[in-house]
Each structure stands twice: as C-alpha cells, then as structure tokens.
Amino acid sequence: MQRGDWKLLRKSKLLLKAIDWFGQGENVVQMARQKLEGEYRDQDIIEIAYDLQAGSYIANLTDPKMLTHKEEWGQRIADILRSLGVSSACEAGTGEATTLAFIAGAAGSEVTFSGFDISLSRTLHARDFLARNGVEARLFCADILRIPLPDSSVDAVITNHSIEPNGGFERPLLEELFRVCARYLVLVEPDYERGTEEQKKRMREHNYVRGIAGHLEHLPGRLRTYEGWPLNVNPHNKASLFVFEKRDGTRPSSEFDFVSPVNRRPLAEVGGELFCASEGLVYPTVLGIPILRDECAVVCTQADRFG
C-alpha cells in the first residue's frame, strides 16, 4: 500500500467501528463524534448510523399507539399541503417512509410525492413500506446538502425530524431545501429556542440544529406559520411547525428530472445508469434505487459511447 492509500479505507473503517458500537447498544453518532472528532465527515457518520438501524422505524409501527400517532401526523401534514394548494412535494430525509406513507395516503391523488434519504438500506425499506401501503413515490439516495433536483422543481419540500442531526449546517441546509422548492418549505423539526432547559441540553449533546426560524428569515420570502407541533413522541424533543413561503414562487414544471449533485447539469440514462457528460461521472442505480451522491459516482468520461 502506497503512502496516502489509507484515506481510501476511512469510510469502511468507520463502518466497522460503527457496527461494533451498534452491537453494544451505543449511540453511533455520539460515539463517532466523541472518539473520532474531525476524522470523518458528519454526513458519513449520519449515513452509517441510520443505515445500521434501518427497519426499526417500521417495526415500531406494530405498536398501535405509534401507528395512530403516525396516521394523525400524516393527516395533519396532508391538510397543510392541501390548504396551500400543493400539487407536488418531496420529503427530504424520508427514512423508511413511515411518515411519507401516511402523508401521501391522506393527501390522495391530488399530490405527487418523491423522497430521498442518505441511507440506501432505509430507502429500500421505504420502497417496500410504500408498496405495502399502496402509495406511489419516487425515491432516490442523496445528501441533503446536495439535492440532485433542479431549482424550484417541486411545489413543496417537507421534512419531519429530518434535519435535526445536522447542527452547524443550518444555513446551507435550509438554503438547499429552499432552492429545490418552488413555493413552500413545510418543516417539522425540534425547536431549540422554544425548548425547555432539558431539551436544550439534549439538543446540544446531540448537536441538533438550532435557530431555524432565524435562519429562514434570511431567505427571500416569509414565515407564514411558526407554532408548536402537537404530536411529539419524546417530551424532551418537542418540535415546531415552520411553513415558509418563497417570494415570487411559481409552480414547477410538470417534469421531474434528476440533475447532477455536483454541477446541477442534466443526467442522461446510459445502460441503466445516470450519466453527466459535462463532468464525466456515472451515478449508479443499486437494487433499483438511483444513488445520486458525488462520492458514490464512478469516473467514466466516455460512458455514453458504450451504453
């Protein structure tokens, strides 16, 4: 092995450590941040942590109380989307679709849905869960800081406790969600500013996002709704509802097309994969799910000659 080759193993090494921590019942994100501070990207830590627990959110729905909770949650978000006249919505950080399935089920055919998550395992669980519930949604894997969709490509972008572990990235994260939405952001996220001292302490320990309302005020538009969210499983992680309206928002094109997460240029299908000719990268499709993350792409500058 040549000097510097160790860098190629870093993510796999992190995964091996995370599997060990997970098996011991430890919080993978906390352990990685405490023991490996600065060695790994936050997004890699979050991806691995959530991938290891994939399936657990669906399993929780065997509890009738949790199922009822999710049904009520889905109905509330669907009612909000309906009141805003939304016709298309993308859930960022959709996880296993245990929220999206109930939102889409309550919204009916009036709204078309899509969703993405950084974890492939969770996205695969989401696809199966949506199918079992008779819900259609276009799913893909992506980094929430680099969403592979054009500007103003969906009426609304929604989150449900999706951005919470990304403390320190509030401004670029909200700017990216704002870029993709044509008219509205509908966010249900833990609210540091309205939390109790115990909640604030917990959010600091977990490096959760803070100051969402303040960051939204820097975007061109207005905060239509900012209120406490009534459906909270954890009393120490209470959320608020943020509905932000984009200034001069217009309805998106009816076309839903992926773009490169690197340069936002169009992607072409080549041999069942997605190729960006202007950057020479092929984005693979794994088990039927497009993996639209630049670090997962394959260099093949002439892919279109052989596909």
- Say if residue 2's pLDDT is above 80: no
Both tokens of 198, joined, read 């115990």
Identify the domain containing residue 11 by its residue range.
Answer: 5-53
**Quick check: 183 and 84 in contact, CB under 8 A?**
yes
Count CB-CB contacts under 10 A for residue 203.
20
Q: How far is CA 260 from the centre of its chain?
A: 17
Co-location of 67 and 92 in the same domain: yes
- Which string of DSSP letters, residue by residue, matches 276-295? ETTTTEEE-EETTEEB--GG
Co-location of 76 and 16 in the same domain: no
| pLDDT-derived band at 6, boundaries 50, 70, 90 | very low
Lowest model confidence (mean pLDDT) among 2-11, 17-26, 150-159, 231-240: 2-11
Co-location of 176 and 236 in the same domain: yes
Co-location of 149 and 34 in the same domain: no
pLDDT at 85: 96
Co-location of 42 and 62 in the same domain: no
Co-location of 240 and 92 in the same domain: yes
In a domain, 181, yes or no: yes
In a domain, 188, yes or no: yes
In a domain, 79, yes or no: yes
Helix residue spans in the chain (DSSP H)? 10-23, 28-35, 42-52, 56-59, 64-84, 100-107, 120-132, 170-180, 197-205, 212-216
Instruction: Give 41 or 9, the one with higher predicted confidence.
Output: 41
Dist. CA 175–CA 19, nearest whole Å: 33
In a domain, 262, yes or no: no
Co-location of 210 and 286 in the same domain: no
Co-location of 77 and 192 in the same domain: yes
In a domain, 260, yes or no: no
Q: For the chain, what is the domain count?
A: 3
Read off the pLDDT of residues 19-65 as tens digits, 9 standing for 90 and up. Answer: 889 888 888 888 888 887 777 777 888 888 889 998 999 999 999 99
The residues pairing with 89 across neighbouring beta strands, listed in sequence order, are 113, 156
Lowest model confidence (mean pLDDT) among 97-101, 108-112, 157-161, 248-252: 248-252
| pLDDT-derived band at 159, boundaries 50, 70, 90 | very high
**Quick check: 103 and 133 in contact, CB under 8 A?**
no
Co-location of 88 and 142 in the same domain: yes
Burial class (CB in 10 A: 0-12, 13-18, 19+), 214: exposed
In a domain, 72, yes or no: yes
| Amino acid symbol at 90 | C
Burial class (CB in 10 A: 0-12, 13-18, 19+), 235: exposed
Instruction: Give 149 or 254, the one with higher predicted confidence.
Output: 149
With a CB cutoff of 8 Å and minimum separation 6, the contacts of 189 are 159, 161, 162, 163, 164, 209, 212, 239, 240, 242
In a domain, 257, yes or no: no
Co-location of 48 and 101 in the same domain: no
Co-location of 43 and 167 in the same domain: no
CATH of residue 97's domain is: 3.40.50.150
Percent of the chain with pLDDT over 70: 96
The pTM for the full model equals 0.90
pLDDT at 26: 87
pLDDT at 254: 65
| Amino acid symbol at 293 | R
As a whole number, the mean pLDDT across the chain is: 91
In a domain, 105, yes or no: yes
Co-location of 151 and 284 in the same domain: no
Q: Last residue of a domain, which of 53, 68, 90?
A: 53
